Structure 1
Amino acid sequence: MGDERGEGVDPALFRAVVGRFATGVAIVTTVSADGADHAMTVNAFTSVSLEPLLVMFCAEKLARFHDVVLETGRWAVSVLPEDMRDASQWFATRGRTLDGQLLGWAHTRGPATGTPILSRAVAAVECRTHAVHDGGDHTIVVGEVVGLDVPDPEGRPLIFYEGAYRTLD
């Protein structure tokens, strides 16, 4: 079973166990100081607090997106609809070109942050960074909510469960 500190816990079993928690799939976006759009797929996103309104996502420290979002302090979350697996896969691809990475993905600029929001998202949240916490090989980024939208009120969410994309029945 392992001890209280988690030593001896099999990482593959850990991944399989936590993968049984169904999550939505979202794209987090920001704009760098030079005006370049940056985006990353996440499934570690959740609400944190109602007073104040806070949400959080986790960014892998090795990802190029990580340092940019920490520098900008403003970001948006676009919750993907079930027919946008391709967007999820594209924005999760390591080493993809950064120039024009949002070309071909319809988006608007969030009125509160100026960050891209995917036009077909089932939900969108604009944030300013409230706190940053170490989370092992990830950073936990907590954001104060400064804008909300439901770009596609009829959209159905893309789900991730046991390492695969799923949809609601």
Structure 2
Amino acid sequence: MRSVDKKVTQELFRTVAGRFATGIAIVTTHGDGVDHAMTVNAFTSVSLDPLLVLICVEKVARFHSAVIAAGEWGVSVLGEDGEEASRAFATRGRILEGQLDRWAHRRGTLGLALFDSAIATLECRTTAVHDGGDHSIIIGEVVSAGLPREAEPLIYHKAHYRHLAPGAPPGTPPDPGP
């Protein structure tokens, strides 16, 4: 099916953007004695010199004000077994106090929570914040990085969690999921 010249609505844009498969991470920060965490798929590397990455955070999310105020944030890239954590930290309005208690984590160099089950971790200091419509584009300089364990990534594609086929050679299509 080929479609052209459609009016770009939010629904169409969401569908089109959903065709881009992404990894999933949980971003953490700390403020006022409380850990804050949020699931993101808008995370990417930006620069090797200096080492920069970015996240996009919706302006109305309570995580937004916390991460802007803190100026430091951690990234835990989820492995294929991370769907439950991803769903938990994507839930709006959850109780903040003790929200990390059921998830094994350690404190990184900056004292930020980093998930033990992550397949990659970073800690960053904010270097710039840019307007991105209803989101802020937050750029951070990487101050620590780690590879806690080896596992396949959790992937999000067409509004569903996906997993790479076990032992699949490069170029094999992802599991179609539900």
Partner of 1:141: 138
Q: Which amino acid aligns with 2:11?
A: A
In structure 1, the gaps of 5 or more residues are 3-7
- Find 1:117's aligned residue among 91, 114, 117: 114
In structure 2, the gaps of 5 or more residues are 166-178
Structure 2: how far apart are the matches of 1:130 and 1:108? 24
- Find 1:80's aligned residue among 54, 78, 81: 78
Q: Which amino acid aligns with 1:53?
A: L
4+ residue segments displaced more than 4 Å: none
Partner of 1:21: 20
Partner of 2:151: 155
| TM-score, normalised with respect to structure 1 | 0.93
Structure 2: how far apart are the matches of 1:18 and 1:64? 24
Larger Rg: 2
Structure 1: how far apart are the matches of 2:21 and 2:120? 17
- 1:83-94 equivalences under 5 Å are 83-94=81-92
Q: Which amino acid aligns with 2:161?
A: Y
Question: Does residue 9 of structure 2 align to residue 10 of structure 1?
Answer: yes
Partner of 1:64: 62
| TM-score, normalised with respect to structure 2 | 0.88
Taking only the aligned residue pairs, the percentage that are identical comes to: 60
What's the CA shift for 1:13? 0.9
What's the CA shift for 1:157? 0.7
Q: How many pairs were matched up? A: 161
SS at match of 1:146: strand
Structure 2: how far apart are the matches of 1:132 and 1:157? 28
What's the CA shift for 1:155? 1.5
What's the CA shift for 1:84? 1.3
Q: Deviations over 1:32-61 (max 9, x none)?
A: 0x2210000000000000111000000010
Structure 1: how far apart are the matches of 2:36 and 2:129? 19
Structure 1: how far apart are the matches of 2:82 and 2:125? 26
Structure 1: how far apart are the matches of 2:82 and 2:51? 28
Question: Does residue 163 of structure 2 align to residue 164 of structure 1?
Answer: no
Partner of 1:39: 37
Structure 1: how far apart are the matches of 2:101 and 2:85? 11
Q: Which amino acid aligns with 2:107?
A: R
